[in-house]
Amino acid sequence: MRAKPATPILVAIALAFMSCGAAAEPSGRFALVSDVHFDPFDPEGIATVLATTDARDWAERFAALPPAPAAQYGKDTNHVLLFSAVEAIAAHAADADFAIVGGDLLAHDFEEDAAKALGVPVGSAAQLDFAERTTIFVADALGTALPGKPVIVALGNNDSDCGDYEIVPGGGYLAATRETVRRLAGSDLVAPDFDATYAAGGYYAVRHPTVPGALIVVLNDVLWSERYQNACGGDGLAAARAEMEWLAATLAAQKAAGGTVWLVHHIPWGIDGYATTHSKAETCPERVVPFLKDEFSEAFIGLVGDYAGIVSASFSGHMHFDDYRLLLDAAGTPVEADKVVPAISPIFGQNPGFQMFAYDAATGMPRDFATIGLANLPDLSPRPTGARTMCSRPPTACPPIRPGRSRPCGTASARAGGSTTPISAATMSAMAPSPRRASRPMPAPSPFSTGPPTPPVTAANRPPCWRDICM
């Protein structure tokens, strides 16, 4: 008999970390990055150059541009911020085993901005091609941060050549990006049905790079979203149902084989807090807006609850802030947790950030994580708007963080591969506040560009400060 679907809740407390324990088992590390939202239209005019340039040569084109400021709050990621983020990921993930990218590589309103910049209609071949080139460029740029290691890429709602929440199942965008996603994940690691599932809807499975018997299941839950529509053709509903059937079969097969699963998906389960608080509906029940359509929300949550015994971890993005969701069973007991990673793009006013996780190399259970944030984004604008922020501070002090921008802290194990008690859904809901952490040294240059990275220009030419964010 099928168990009653567990109920998702948003726990309204800041994430913190557990205290470190003695290392009992080998520990691995991986990077978690999401919501880059790269803007290839800054500076004005560059898009026409990029449109006729192979994506593999874009980094060289950007490196040749005059010095420019990093994108600021309210804007998507420009090339300066992207270069800086890639360098920071390379430095902090130098000894990591792999990376996971949670989707949304493309900027908001990409299709309209591309059409305007290129002087072509929305939906034209040139606009479609530019979306594909940009996706490949951003994915490969992130790949250079971990040379020779798997980078597992999920798609987000903006990752499409048609429009927001408008991925075309079996369409040209999936065909154009498939080989890049396969190469980055590892051709020897992806499941035998990769070609079919990625082409069908942008989802796939990949063997865990280090944990025996573990499978990383990369979903495209945009197809299940309340906002998804078939604007450019294709049967989205059939594709969405096929993906759910594939997920159920994959989980069943893993359980039968005695294996475990990590889930990677762009949109968290549960309620869309922003849409709910901005709803114009007349009654309270009508104002509650879920992220996923009821049919798919119930099925997805039901599967996660049913297979909670083999789902070791779940990761998502989309919200742009550091967060997590707990899945409770009918008795109110946490059975699964979904970690929501912050964004690189500062468009919604938050500090750019990514996360470094430590995990048990034998079981695959996450043990700890640290959030690496850009602590001095305002300093990287032409006219700094905040107090000067430096990376070299006493171990007991943290550089001032713009109020309300980011709240998580990291611990030594996520940074250096130490060990703690594994993070379970139950322990995540009862974590204690983390101590303040020492500052990090400046990251070394990454191999992202063929020449030196483009430096941000400020009154004092201050360097970017990517470091553990303190509460």
Task: Pick the closest to residue 326 from 316, 317, 334 (CA basis).
Answer: 334
Task: Say how many C-beta atoms besides its own lie within 10 A of residue 245's C-beta.
Answer: 11
Give the per-residue SS3 of 333-373: CEEEEEEECCCCCCCCCCCCEEEEEEEECCCCCEEEEEEEE
Q: pTM here?
A: 0.82
Q: Which is more confidently placed, 14 or 142? A: 142
pLDDT, average across residues 340-349: 96
Task: Pick the closest to residue 125 from 75, 70, 176, 169 (CA basis).
Answer: 176
Confidence of residue 469 (pLDDT cuts 50, 70, 90): confident
Would you say residue 141 has pLDDT above 50? yes
pLDDT of residue 280: 84
Alpha carbon distance 290, 201 (integer Å): 21
| 296-331 pLDDT tens trace | 999 999 999 999 999 999 999 999 999 999 998 888
**274, amino acid identity:** Y
List, as one string, the DSSP characters of 294-312.
Answer: HHHHHHHHHHHHHTTTTEE
DSSP state of 275: H
pLDDT of residue 382: 62
Would you say residue 379 has pLDDT above 90? no
Percent of the chain with pLDDT over 70: 77
Would you say residue 422 has pLDDT above 70? no
Quickly list H helices, 186-257.
194-201, 236-256
Task: Pick the closest to residue 101 from 47, 162, 37, 13 (CA basis).
Answer: 37
Would you say residue 69 has pLDDT above 70? yes
Alpha carbon distance 146, 168 (integer Å): 30
The answer for residues whose C-beta is within 8 angstroms of residue 95's C-beta and 6 or more apart is 29, 417
Would you say residue 457 has pLDDT above 50? no
Would you say residue 426 has pLDDT above 80? no
Q: Which is more confidently placed, 375 or 396? A: 375
Task: Pick the closest to residue 137 from 203, 220, 265, 38 (CA basis).
Answer: 38
Residue 458's Cβ-side half-sphere holds a number of Cα atoms within 13 Å equal to 22
Residue 43: is the preceding peptide bond cis (ω within 30°)? yes
pLDDT of residue 395: 33
Pick 7-468's CATH classification: 3.20.20.450, 3.60.21.10, 3.90.1150.10, 3.30.2350.10: 3.60.21.10
At which residue do the structure tokens 């294709």 appear?
Answer: 234
Percent of the chain with pLDDT over 90: 66
Q: Which two tokens stand for residue 127?
A: 């606009």
Would you say residue 19 has pLDDT above 60? no
Would you say residue 410 has pLDDT above 80? no
Of 199-213, 421-435, 450-464, the range with the highest mean pLDDT is 199-213
Of 279-283, 364-368, 435-439, 455-459, the range with the highest mean pLDDT is 364-368
| 227-247 pLDDT tens trace | 999 889 878 999 999 999 999
Alpha carbon distance 318, 309 (integer Å): 26
Cβ-contact 419, 379 below 8 angstroms: no
pLDDT of residue 463: 76
Q: Which is more confidently placed, 287 or 458? A: 287
Would you say residue 448 has pLDDT above 90? no
Cβ-contact 386, 377 below 8 angstroms: no
Lowest-pLDDT range of 157-161, 280-284, 379-383, 395-399: 395-399
Would you say residue 4 has pLDDT above 90? no
Quickly list H helices, 119-212.
125-143, 172-185, 194-201
Task: Say how many C-beta atoms besides its own lie within 10 A of residue 1's C-beta.
Answer: 3
Helix (DSSP H) and strand (DSSP E) numbers for the chain:
13, 13
pLDDT, average across residues 338-349: 96
- Domain locations in the chain as residue ranges: 7-468
Confidence of residue 181 (pLDDT cuts 50, 70, 90): very high
The answer for residues whose C-beta is within 8 angstroms of residue 248's C-beta and 6 or more apart is 299, 303
Q: Which two tokens stand for residue 290?
A: 């879920």
Name the average pLDDT for the chain. 82
